[in-house]
Amino acid sequence: MSDREIKVYKDLMGANAEWAAKTRELLKEKGIRMLNLIGSPGSGKTALLEKTAEMLGENRKFAVLEGDVETTRDAERLDCLNVPVSQLLTGGACHLEAKLVHHALIDLDLDALDLVFVENVGNMVCPAEFDVGENAKIAVLSITEGEDKPLKYPLLFREAGAVVLSKTDLAPHLDLDIRDYEKHIWQVHSGVPVLRVSARTGEGLDRWIAEIVKAGQ
């Protein structure tokens, strides 16, 4: 019985890796970068994308692949921003897999894009385990979640190319020292860039935009 379980797990991950490799090849051919946003429900991933579209204005050449368990609410939130948005529903699963992302990607007008955001299912654990062919994973962590989270859920932070520390406007109302977040993030992934951001006040958005413009080049 346990042999069979391990076998199937390997098969699944094998298939996922193949689709991810296919995606990576396609992105390279088209000169597109793909960033995979991962964080808990309510960590601020959709708000960050809303602000990104607003700030890039006419210069936006990006699309969003919006992963959710159910509902099209996030895709609807983004729809008014005039960027291509596709809704990926996992039908109960807690993460996106590479095959679904690949099929959504090839339906986009790729020649008109230089950047694709994947907004993964709200979950700090499982999405970090699945390569979907992205160029980088971006961890999004709200400061309301507690400064111990990078230590408790280290895989995401180890895998991340950058960490967005969101909702910094709430710091005065919480019993915390925001530097503890950075200390714990760097403890599991030394030197990874940490961007303090508030979609509400605008803090840190300039640096975020500079980073993703760079990523899209």
CB of 111 to its own copies, least distance (A): 33
Q: Compute CA distances 15 → 21, 22, 31, 82, 96, whole Å.
A: 10, 11, 24, 34, 13
Smallest distance from its own copies to CB 68, Å: 6
Angstrom distance (rounded) from CA 184 to CA 206 = 24
Q: Distance (Å, rounded) from C-alpha 36 to C-alpha 123?
A: 13
Residue type, 186: W
Q: In the complex, which residues of this chain contact its own copies (CB under 8 A)?
A: 1, 4-5, 8, 11-12, 40-42, 68-71, 73-74, 92, 94, 121-126, 129, 142, 144-146, 148-149, 151-155, 167, 169-170, 173-175, 200
**What's the 3-state SS for the chain?**
CHHHHHHHHHHHHHHHHHHHHHHHHHHHHHCCEEEEEECCCCCCHHHHHHHHHHHHHHHCCEEEEEEECCCCHHHHHHHCCCCCEEEEECCCCCCCCHHHHHHHHHCCCHHHCCEEEEECCCCCCHHHHCCCCCCEEEEEEEHHHCCCHHHHCHHHHHHEEEEEEECHHHHHHCCCCHHHHHHHHHHHCCCCCEEECCCCCCCCHHHHHHHHHHHCC
